[in-house]
């Protein structure tokens, strides 16, 4: 099912223009969580471009993205796939009005050995 209205809304939230993608697949070539994902970074971009959003919203892939931003770093066209994935996540979380993680929970969950990036990443993924 195509939903171009939602697709354009996702473009607005993420600030990403999926039509800039030249389908090189470098994002999926670089993705460290590729095998854990049902839909891969290049598919996210393509599915938002063509409005096939519903499948994305149902997919676990939304939360297996590590937010490592390797795809953003290496995309030769400046498409920023991770930002688009982030926008789909927000679209999933916001209507449910439930955050998986709240700021006040952080201090007790904090592990000294956890890399800073992972904390920021978790915030990006689970916080509104």
Size of the site for another protein (CB under 8 A): 22
Instruction: Check binding of 78 to another protein (CB under 8 A).
Output: yes
Query: Based on CB atoms, which residue is closest to another protein, 2 or 32?
Result: 32
Distance of alpha carbon 39 from alpha carbon 59, whole angstroms? 8
Instruction: Check binding of 26 to another protein (CB under 8 A).
Output: yes
| Of the residues 9, 13, 17, 29, which one makes contact with another protein according to CB under 8 A | 29
SS (H, E, C) 42-86: HHHHHHHHHCCHHHHHHCCHHHHCCCCCHHHHHCCCCCCHHHHHH
Instruction: Check binding of 106 to another protein (CB under 8 A).
Output: no
Distance of alpha carbon 126 from alpha carbon 128, whole angstroms? 7
List residues binding another protein (CB under 8 A). Answer: 20, 22-31, 34-35, 40, 42-43, 70, 74-78
């Amino acid at each position: 099912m195509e939903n171009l209205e939602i697709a354009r809304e996702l473009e607005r939230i993420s600030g990403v223009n999926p039509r800039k993608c030249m389908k090189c697949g470098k994002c999926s070539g670089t993705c460290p969580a590729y095998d854990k994902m049902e839909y891969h970074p290049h598919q996210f971009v393509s599915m938002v471009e063509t409005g096939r959003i519903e499948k994305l919203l149902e997919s676990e892939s939304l939360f297996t993205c590590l937010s490592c931003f390797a795809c953003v770093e290496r995309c030769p066209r400046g498409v920023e796939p991770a930002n688009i994935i982030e926008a789909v996540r927000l679209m999933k979380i916001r209507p449910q009005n439930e955050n998986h993680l709240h700021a006040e929970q952080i201090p007790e969950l904090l592990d000294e050995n956890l890399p800073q990036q992972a904390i920021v990443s978790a915030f990006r993924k689970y916080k509104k």
